[in-house]
């Protein structure tokens, strides 16, 4: 029995892996990973890891989300970083675009010892 999560909204199996449920719990209910985990009877890390993998927390780490925004929608790193829920810098976006092979390495960011 949960107190902050209505039973009808909680998926029957592995709710911590359900993208729509987690998005709802984080953004519409405003619950933290700790609270969601407590309500589901699992560890906080289980909720956090899956929320990150699904692009709910730290969406700039989610390759599919970046690919959709950068490649399919044609948004720049600045435009992506400015979106609601991203809360990161354009430099962070460029770092992950490079990591996922969507752009060539940009020496305009990163460690100073790597800049020629």
Indicate the SS3 state at residue 106: coil
Residue 78 resides in a domain: yes
Q: Read off the pLDDT of residues 9-48 as tens digits, 9 standing for 90 and up.
A: 888 889 999 999 999 998 888 888 999 999 999 999 999 9
What is the pLDDT averaged over residues 57-68? 88
48 and 13 share one domain: yes
Q: Tell me the C-alpha distance between 59 and 26, whole Å.
A: 13
Domain holding 69, by residue range, is 59-108
Q: Tell me the C-alpha distance between 82 and 8, whole Å.
A: 34
16 and 36 share one domain: yes
Structure token pair of residue 82:
């400015």
**What length does the chain have?**
116
Is the torsion defined by CA of 8, 9, 15, 16 positive or negative? negative
Q: Tell me the C-alpha distance between 54 and 61, whole Å.
A: 9
48 and 66 share one domain: no
Residue 99 resides in a domain: yes
Whole-model pTM? 0.65
Q: Tell me the C-alpha distance between 62 and 59, whole Å.
A: 5
Q: Read off the pLDDT of residues 13-23 as tens digits, 9 standing for 90 and up.
A: 899 999 999 99
């Amino acid at each position: 029995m949960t107190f902050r999560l209505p039973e009808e909204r909680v998926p029957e199996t592995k709710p911590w892996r359900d993208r729509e449920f987690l998005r709802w719990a984080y953004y519409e209910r405003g619950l933290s990973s700790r609270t969601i985990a407590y309500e589901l009877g699992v560890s906080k890390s289980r909720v956090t890891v899956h929320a990150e993998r699904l692009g709910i927390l730290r969406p700039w780490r989610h390759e599919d989300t970046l690919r959709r925004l950068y490649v399919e929608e044609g948004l720049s790193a600045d435009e992506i970083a400015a979106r609601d829920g991203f809360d990161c810098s354009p430099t962070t976006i460029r770092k992950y675009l490079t990591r996922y092979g969507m752009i060539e390495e940009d020496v305009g960011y990163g460690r100073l010892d790597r800049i020629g």
